[in-house]
Amino acid sequence: MALKHKLILASGSPRRVDLLHQAGIEPARLMPMDIDEAPKKSEHPRSLARRLSAEKSEAAFAAVKGDVAWQGSYILAADTVVAVGRRILPKAEFVDEASSALHLLSGRSHVVYTGISLITPDRKLRQKVVETKVRFKRLSSKDIDMYLASGQWRGKAGAYGIQGLAGSFVQKLIGSYTNVVGLPLYETMLLLAGEGFDVYAEWQEG
């Protein structure tokens, strides 16, 4: 039975690990999955988040299914997508991408979608997509230039991380804050608990 409490996180994101730690959960293994994250033609951002999270969890499952040590594990994956309307903003890798994204987000609202996928020990796939509406203040040229200089945009969906300096850009947020960080904790815990994972195993003092 102890094996059923192992959780594999199909991600290498420090933010997702930190959020799970915040909820008292220690993943037994981190398995970042290298998949093609490009959206399909006319794919809705919500559908993209759902699909990519499923593909990550399924890739991790395929990688461990023959390993007896990991049989009976839960496999959790997530993917976060930032969009203005139906326009999906990529995970910024270059300064010009980040600059373009920040100019687009300036003074307007956008939606952050996170798809979470859980493969249970009996090989069922459970999914949830959570969305949060975020409005940025109007960004000055200095705001953008200094944020680009900080480097905190690298690898982030929408070219920002709300838990860092860009938190000061947020004028209004409707929905889950942890969703914008990268893993909606309420929905994740609900999903895990609903499938029999002991979310309180590490809560006892000492």
The separation between the first and the last C-alpha atoms of the chain, rounded to the nearest angstrom, is: 22
DSSP state of 157: B
Q: Which residue among the candidates 34, 79, 96, 145 is catalytic per the annotation?
A: 79
Active site residue 36: no
Residue 22 DSSP class = H
CA distances from 28 to 6, 47, 73, 75, 199 (A): 6, 29, 9, 10, 13
DSSP string, 47-98: HHHHHHHHHHHHHHHHHHTT-GGGTT-EEEEEEEEEEETTEEEPBP-SHHHH
- The answer to whether the CB of 17 falls within 8 A of the CB of 185 is no
Residues 6+ apart with CB under 8 A from 138: 106, 107
Residue 9: strand, helix, or coil: strand
What amino acid positions are annotated as catalytic residues?
79
